Amino acid sequence: QAFFCLLLCVPWGSSCPPSCQCTERAGAKAVLCSSRHLEEIPKDIPKDAVFLKLDANSITRIPSNAFRHLSHLEELDLSRNAIEKIDRAAFKGVAAGLRTLDLSSNRIRSIPKEALLALNAKLRLANNPWHCECALQEVLWEARLDPDSVQDITCHTAPREEYVGKPLLQVLDAGVNFCSVRQRTTDVAMFITMFGWFTMVIVYVICYVRHNREDTCKHVDYLKSLPSAQGHAE
Protein backbone atom coordinates (compact mmCIF):
# COMPACT_ATOMS: atom_id res chain seq x y z
CA GLN A 1 0.00 0.00 0.00
CA ALA A 2 2.87 2.38 0.80
CA PHE A 3 4.40 1.68 -2.63
CA PHE A 4 1.05 2.32 -4.36
CA CYS A 5 0.68 5.63 -2.51
CA LEU A 6 4.18 6.64 -3.60
CA LEU A 7 3.29 6.00 -7.25
CA LEU A 8 0.30 8.31 -6.94
CA CYS A 9 2.48 11.13 -5.66
CA VAL A 10 5.36 10.88 -8.15
CA PRO A 11 3.79 11.62 -11.58
CA TRP A 12 2.69 15.16 -10.74
CA GLY A 13 6.12 16.15 -9.44
CA SER A 14 7.98 14.46 -12.31
CA SER A 15 6.05 16.43 -14.95
CA CYS A 16 6.68 19.78 -13.32
CA PRO A 17 8.94 22.30 -15.13
CA PRO A 18 12.39 22.33 -13.48
CA SER A 19 12.14 26.06 -12.75
CA CYS A 20 8.74 25.79 -11.08
CA GLN A 21 7.05 24.18 -8.12
CA CYS A 22 3.92 22.11 -8.62
CA THR A 23 1.38 21.49 -5.92
CA GLU A 24 -2.35 21.19 -5.26
CA ARG A 25 -4.74 23.85 -4.02
CA ALA A 26 -8.18 22.64 -2.99
CA GLY A 27 -7.77 19.58 -5.19
CA ALA A 28 -6.69 21.62 -8.24
CA LYS A 29 -3.22 21.52 -9.78
CA ALA A 30 -1.15 24.69 -9.27
CA VAL A 31 2.12 25.57 -11.03
CA LEU A 32 4.16 28.16 -9.14
CA CYS A 33 6.90 29.85 -11.16
CA SER A 34 7.17 33.15 -9.29
CA SER A 35 10.53 34.97 -9.12
CA ARG A 36 12.45 32.34 -11.09
CA HIS A 37 14.24 34.73 -13.49
CA LEU A 38 12.26 33.36 -16.43
CA GLU A 39 12.61 35.24 -19.74
CA GLU A 40 9.89 33.32 -21.54
CA ILE A 41 6.89 31.17 -20.71
CA PRO A 42 7.90 27.55 -19.94
CA LYS A 43 6.82 25.12 -22.65
CA ASP A 44 6.47 22.07 -20.39
CA ILE A 45 3.68 23.27 -18.10
CA PRO A 46 1.41 20.30 -17.18
CA LYS A 47 -1.78 20.18 -19.23
CA ASP A 48 -4.02 19.80 -16.18
CA ALA A 49 -2.76 22.98 -14.48
CA VAL A 50 -5.59 25.08 -13.05
CA PHE A 51 -3.53 27.83 -11.40
CA LEU A 52 -0.40 29.25 -13.04
CA LYS A 53 1.77 31.91 -11.42
CA LEU A 54 4.47 33.45 -13.60
CA ASP A 55 4.74 36.73 -11.72
CA ALA A 56 7.95 38.61 -10.83
CA ASN A 57 10.01 37.29 -13.75
CA SER A 58 11.60 38.87 -16.84
CA ILE A 59 9.13 37.73 -19.51
CA THR A 60 8.94 40.29 -22.33
CA ARG A 61 6.40 38.78 -24.73
CA ILE A 62 3.33 36.56 -24.79
CA PRO A 63 3.38 34.76 -28.16
CA SER A 64 0.43 33.25 -29.96
CA ASN A 65 -0.95 30.02 -28.49
CA ALA A 66 1.30 30.32 -25.44
CA PHE A 67 -1.28 28.58 -23.21
CA ARG A 68 -3.35 26.72 -25.80
CA HIS A 69 -2.63 23.28 -24.31
CA LEU A 70 -3.80 24.37 -20.82
CA SER A 71 -7.51 23.73 -21.29
CA HIS A 72 -8.14 23.54 -17.51
CA LEU A 73 -6.47 26.87 -16.70
CA GLU A 74 -8.59 29.21 -14.57
CA GLU A 75 -6.14 31.69 -13.02
CA LEU A 76 -3.09 33.16 -14.74
CA ASP A 77 -0.75 35.64 -13.04
CA LEU A 78 1.72 37.46 -15.31
CA SER A 79 2.14 40.54 -13.15
CA ARG A 80 5.47 42.22 -12.39
CA ASN A 81 7.24 41.09 -15.54
CA ALA A 82 8.72 43.10 -18.42
CA ILE A 83 5.98 42.30 -20.95
CA GLU A 84 5.91 44.73 -23.87
CA LYS A 85 4.20 42.72 -26.62
CA ILE A 86 1.10 40.54 -26.56
CA ASP A 87 0.17 38.71 -29.75
CA ARG A 88 -3.44 38.68 -30.97
CA ALA A 89 -3.80 34.94 -30.31
CA ALA A 90 -1.81 34.96 -27.06
CA PHE A 91 -4.68 33.51 -24.99
CA LYS A 92 -6.23 31.33 -27.66
CA GLY A 93 -7.47 28.05 -26.22
CA VAL A 94 -7.97 29.31 -22.66
CA ALA A 95 -10.50 32.09 -23.31
CA ALA A 96 -13.53 30.08 -22.25
CA GLY A 97 -12.29 28.78 -18.91
CA LEU A 98 -9.96 31.53 -17.68
CA ARG A 99 -11.45 33.41 -14.72
CA THR A 100 -8.59 35.73 -13.73
CA LEU A 101 -5.80 37.27 -15.80
CA ASP A 102 -3.30 39.58 -14.12
CA LEU A 103 -1.16 41.70 -16.48
CA SER A 104 -0.49 44.52 -14.03
CA SER A 105 2.92 46.12 -13.47
CA ASN A 106 4.45 45.34 -16.85
CA ARG A 107 5.66 47.51 -19.75
CA ILE A 108 2.55 47.24 -21.91
CA ARG A 109 1.83 50.37 -23.98
CA SER A 110 -0.82 48.90 -26.25
CA ILE A 111 -2.55 45.60 -26.73
CA PRO A 112 -4.59 44.14 -29.60
CA LYS A 113 -8.19 44.21 -28.46
CA GLU A 114 -8.68 40.79 -30.07
CA ALA A 115 -6.32 39.33 -27.48
CA LEU A 116 -8.57 40.33 -24.57
CA LEU A 117 -12.12 40.81 -25.77
CA ALA A 118 -12.63 37.06 -26.34
CA LEU A 119 -11.84 36.42 -22.68
CA ASN A 120 -14.40 36.04 -19.92
CA ALA A 121 -11.69 36.50 -17.31
CA LYS A 122 -11.48 39.36 -14.86
CA LEU A 123 -8.56 41.51 -16.05
CA ARG A 124 -5.98 43.45 -14.09
CA LEU A 125 -4.19 45.96 -16.33
CA ALA A 126 -2.99 48.54 -13.80
CA ASN A 127 0.47 50.10 -13.58
CA ASN A 128 1.47 49.80 -17.22
CA PRO A 129 2.77 52.69 -19.39
CA TRP A 130 -0.41 52.76 -21.48
CA HIS A 131 -0.78 54.83 -24.62
CA CYS A 132 -4.39 56.00 -24.41
CA GLU A 133 -6.03 55.34 -27.75
CA CYS A 134 -9.16 53.84 -29.29
CA ALA A 135 -8.09 50.18 -28.84
CA LEU A 136 -7.50 50.66 -25.11
CA GLN A 137 -10.79 52.51 -24.77
CA GLU A 138 -12.63 49.61 -26.39
CA VAL A 139 -10.96 47.17 -24.00
CA LEU A 140 -12.05 49.31 -21.04
CA TRP A 141 -15.64 49.40 -22.29
CA GLU A 142 -16.07 45.76 -23.31
CA ALA A 143 -13.69 43.67 -21.20
CA ARG A 144 -14.32 42.52 -17.60
CA LEU A 145 -11.88 44.67 -15.67
CA ASP A 146 -11.13 44.21 -12.00
CA PRO A 147 -12.98 47.15 -10.36
CA ASP A 148 -10.32 47.46 -7.66
CA SER A 149 -7.57 48.20 -10.19
CA VAL A 150 -9.36 50.09 -12.97
CA GLN A 151 -8.44 53.48 -11.50
CA ASP A 152 -4.75 52.59 -11.86
CA ILE A 153 -4.98 52.31 -15.66
CA THR A 154 -3.23 55.61 -16.34
CA CYS A 155 -2.36 57.41 -19.57
CA HIS A 156 1.43 57.39 -19.86
CA THR A 157 1.15 58.93 -23.32
CA ALA A 158 -1.87 60.28 -25.20
CA PRO A 159 -2.82 62.29 -28.31
CA ARG A 160 -3.07 65.40 -26.14
CA GLU A 161 -0.72 66.41 -23.34
CA GLU A 162 -3.56 67.25 -20.96
CA TYR A 163 -4.52 63.55 -20.69
CA VAL A 164 -1.03 62.36 -19.69
CA GLY A 165 -0.81 61.16 -16.09
CA LYS A 166 -4.57 60.88 -15.66
CA PRO A 167 -6.56 57.66 -15.14
CA LEU A 168 -8.09 56.58 -18.43
CA LEU A 169 -11.50 56.17 -16.79
CA GLN A 170 -11.38 59.79 -15.61
CA VAL A 171 -10.50 61.01 -19.12
CA LEU A 172 -13.38 59.03 -20.65
CA ASP A 173 -15.81 60.24 -17.97
CA ALA A 174 -14.91 63.79 -19.01
CA GLY A 175 -16.37 63.07 -22.45
CA VAL A 176 -13.22 62.26 -24.40
CA ASN A 177 -13.68 59.67 -27.14
CA PHE A 178 -10.41 58.44 -28.63
CA CYS A 179 -12.28 56.41 -31.24
CA SER A 180 -14.07 59.47 -32.63
CA VAL A 181 -10.72 61.29 -32.77
CA ARG A 182 -9.33 58.46 -34.85
CA GLN A 183 -12.41 58.54 -37.07
CA ARG A 184 -12.02 62.28 -37.63
CA THR A 185 -8.35 61.79 -38.44
CA THR A 186 -9.26 59.07 -40.94
CA ASP A 187 -11.92 61.29 -42.52
CA VAL A 188 -9.46 64.16 -42.86
CA ALA A 189 -6.87 61.84 -44.41
CA MET A 190 -9.46 60.55 -46.90
CA PHE A 191 -10.52 64.09 -47.73
CA ILE A 192 -6.93 65.16 -48.35
CA THR A 193 -6.32 62.10 -50.53
CA MET A 194 -9.49 62.71 -52.57
CA PHE A 195 -8.63 66.40 -52.91
CA GLY A 196 -5.17 65.47 -54.14
CA TRP A 197 -6.57 63.11 -56.77
CA PHE A 198 -9.15 65.69 -57.84
CA THR A 199 -6.43 68.34 -58.20
CA MET A 200 -4.33 65.99 -60.31
CA VAL A 201 -7.29 65.31 -62.61
CA ILE A 202 -8.01 69.05 -63.02
CA VAL A 203 -4.36 69.78 -63.79
CA TYR A 204 -4.28 66.96 -66.31
CA VAL A 205 -7.44 68.22 -68.05
CA ILE A 206 -6.08 71.78 -68.20
CA CYS A 207 -2.76 70.60 -69.63
CA TYR A 208 -4.57 68.38 -72.10
CA VAL A 209 -6.83 71.24 -73.31
CA ARG A 210 -3.88 73.63 -73.61
CA HIS A 211 -1.86 71.05 -75.51
CA ASN A 212 -4.74 70.42 -77.93
CA ARG A 213 -5.29 74.16 -78.33
CA GLU A 214 -1.64 74.69 -79.23
CA ASP A 215 -1.77 71.82 -81.72
CA THR A 216 -4.95 73.29 -83.24
CA CYS A 217 -3.38 76.73 -83.58
CA LYS A 218 -0.29 75.27 -85.21
CA HIS A 219 -2.48 73.31 -87.62
CA VAL A 220 -4.51 76.41 -88.54
CA ASP A 221 -1.36 78.43 -89.10
CA TYR A 222 -0.01 75.66 -91.28
CA LEU A 223 -3.18 75.62 -93.36
CA LYS A 224 -3.04 79.39 -93.80
CA SER A 225 0.52 79.16 -95.03
CA LEU A 226 -0.44 76.78 -97.83
CA PRO A 227 -1.08 78.20 -101.34
CA SER A 228 -4.80 78.54 -102.04
CA ALA A 229 -6.50 76.41 -104.64
CA GLN A 230 -7.09 79.53 -106.74
CA GLY A 231 -3.36 80.30 -106.77
CA HIS A 232 -2.65 76.86 -108.20
CA ALA A 233 -5.23 77.35 -110.93
CA GLU A 234 -3.58 80.57 -112.16
Encode pLDDT of 58-115 as tens digits: 999 999 999 999 999 999 999 999 999 999 999 999 988 999 999 999 999 999 988 9
Q: What residues does each domain of the chain span? A: 21-176, 183-217
Per-residue pLDDT at 203? 65
Per-residue pLDDT at 187? 41
Average confidence (pLDDT) per 10 residues, the chain, 234 residues: 37 72 92 97 94 98 96 97 97 93 97 87 96 91 90 95 95 92 44 58 68 66 59 49
d(CA 83, CA 104): 10
Residue 51 CB coordination number (10 Å): 20
Per-residue pLDDT at 116? 86
What pTM did the predictor assign? 0.72
CATH class of 21-176: alpha beta
Residue 120 CB coordination number (10 Å): 12
Per-residue pLDDT at 229? 46
Coil, strand or helix: which one is 173?
helix
Per-residue pLDDT at 1? 41
Give CA angle at 20 (35, 128), nearest 5°.
40
Coil, strand or helix: which one is 99?
coil
